[in-house]
Amino acid sequence: MSQNILITGAAGYIGGSVLAELASRRNGLIKTLNISAAVRSEEQAQSLSKLGVNVVRVDLRDEAAISEVILHNEIDIVVHTASSRDPSLITHIIKALGRRREVSGKETYFIHSSVATVFSEDGGWPFGEVRDTDPIFAKEKEIEGGHPVRETNILVTEEAKARGVTSFIIAVPVVYGRGTGEWRKVSANIPAYIRTSIAHKVVYKFDVDGHPPAVHISDLVAFYALLIEKILQKENIPKGEDGYYFVIAHRAPWWAIMQRLAEALYARGLVDEPKTQIWPSYDVAAESLGFPRVYMKAIGTSSGQLVAVNAYRLGWQPKWDEERFLDSMDDEVQSVLELDTVKPSLFDPVSTS
């Protein structure tokens, strides 16, 4: 019997790219899925309608509306990419999936898109090296300080357990590359540096280098598809408290990236010199880049000792490595010049209900 899947944040960079991948699959169990895509605006709905999927307009803060979407469309699997740090959206979706399970007698699944940075020191992780096979849920609960992404991870696991929903947490690192969705096609991080460098005619780097984990959007999307395929095959894979997946292909060496960006932008006449300068301060950087000051250090200089095991055990084989990534900086510039038309909403205030 075919299953029904809902992708939230389907107008976004990651959600749109996951949607494009699932909708275009011609083999495996994924092609049997009935796909629904959740977006917020009419313009977005129209733009996605050409994909031949069921596009629903819903604000996920509206509990009754998301419950109706899940029950009416008989949704068994939700891929949540709309927010990693707004717990109320999660509660609404998981509650509805719990009700769907009661009504249908079938298992329901919640795949959460989280943030890998919270497993680095600057992201508030005090335990040093971390494998996704470690008892991460218990460790996350030990940490005080209430980071919204971490609180949301904990909520996902606890709420899903309470409602009989099977949950997975994908810890997403720095994502780069041209998205394949219909609406937002560029990522948050590197495009912000490119946009700001063009505005200042200078490429700035931080006073401290960082090497955070990274993944190309095509490899990330391939992992979501692999996980969904395993769910459809009913394979016994890590889930719930054990269901953390670090989707890490390689590192992003920031100083080397900034140097490559300086060269690429200079060659196009977009900055004044083919070399970098140090940001005058973290305040100026946050203000210029449009990132919240409180996360600026974590975003700009953190590294983290994350070790990805679970994704590779599932059979994930990323195609991009650090060298290919560094060689693609001019493509990143080109993507921003061509496609950077949608204002990011990633750091908009979260709902309080």
Ligand X SMILES: NC(=O)c1ccc[n+]([C@@H]2O[C@H](COP(=O)([O-])OP(=O)(O)OC[C@H]3O[C@@H](n4cnc5c(N)ncnc54)[C@H](OP(=O)(O)O)[C@@H]3O)[C@@H](O)[C@H]2O)c1
| Residue 329 contacts ligand X per CB under 6 A | no
Closest approach, Cβ 180 to ligand X, in A, equals 12
| Residue 174 contacts ligand X per CB under 6 A | yes
For ligand X, which is the closer residue by CB, 33 or 115? 115
Closest approach, Cβ 338 to ligand X, in A, equals 17
Q: In this chain, which of 7, 14, 19, 90 binds ligand X, going by CB under 6 A?
A: 14
Helix H or strand E encompassing 189? helix 189-200
For ligand X, which is the closer residue by CB, 115 or 271? 115
Q: In this chain, which of 5, 6, 7, 9 binds ligand X, going by CB under 6 A?
A: 9
From the list 152-160, 167-175, 251-259, 296-304, the region that binds ligand X by CB under 6 A is 167-175
Residue nearest to ligand X (CB): 12
Closest approach, Cβ 27 to ligand X, in A, equals 26
| Residue 81 contacts ligand X per CB under 6 A | yes
| Residue 153 contacts ligand X per CB under 6 A | no
| Residue 195 contacts ligand X per CB under 6 A | no
Going by C-beta distance under 8 Å and a sequence separation of 6 or more, which residues neighbour residue 233? Answer: 29
| Residue 148 contacts ligand X per CB under 6 A | no
Three-state SS at 118: helix
| Residue 124 contacts ligand X per CB under 6 A | no
From the list 75-83, 119-127, 158-166, 258-266, the region that binds ligand X by CB under 6 A is 75-83
For ligand X, which is the closer residue by CB, 27 or 352? 352
For ligand X, which is the closer residue by CB, 7 or 203? 7
H runs (alpha helix) in 73-110: 87-104
Going by C-beta distance under 8 Å and a sequence separation of 6 or more, which residues neighbour residue 123? Answer: 115, 117, 147, 298, 302, 304
Q: In this chain, which of 5, 6, 7, 11 binds ligand X, going by CB under 6 A?
A: 11
CA nearest to 174, candidates 67, 270, 262, 247: 247
The residue with tokens 């590294």 is 303
For ligand X, which is the closer residue by CB, 105 or 146? 146
For ligand X, which is the closer residue by CB, 189 or 288? 189
For ligand X, which is the closer residue by CB, 188 or 271? 188
CA nearest to 221, candidates 321, 107, 79, 74: 79
C-alpha distances in Å from residue 79, one per residue of 20, 68, 163, 165, 248: 13, 17, 17, 13, 19
Closest approach, Cβ 310 to ligand X, in A, equals 17
Closest approach, Cβ 164 to ligand X, in A, equals 25
What does the block give as tokens for 19? Answer: 């949607």
| Strands of the chain, DSSP E | 4-8, 34-39, 54-57, 77-80, 109-115, 130-131, 166-172, 174-176, 203-205, 213-216, 244-246, 250-251, 276-278, 306-307
What does the block give as tokens for 272? Answer: 């004044």
| Residue 13 contacts ligand X per CB under 6 A | yes
Give 344-352 contacts, CB < 8 A, sequence gap 24+.
Answer: 344/184, 344/188, 344/192, 344/290, 346/188, 347/290, 347/291, 347/292, 347/295, 350/83, 350/85, 350/86, 350/87, 350/88, 350/148, 351/61, 351/86, 351/88, 351/89, 352/88
| Residue 346 contacts ligand X per CB under 6 A | yes
Total residues contacting ligand X by CB under 6 A comes to 28
Closest approach, Cβ 144 to ligand X, in A, equals 22
Binding residues for ligand X (CB under 6 A): 9, 11-15, 40-41, 59-61, 81-84, 89, 113, 115, 172, 174-175, 184, 187-189, 344-346
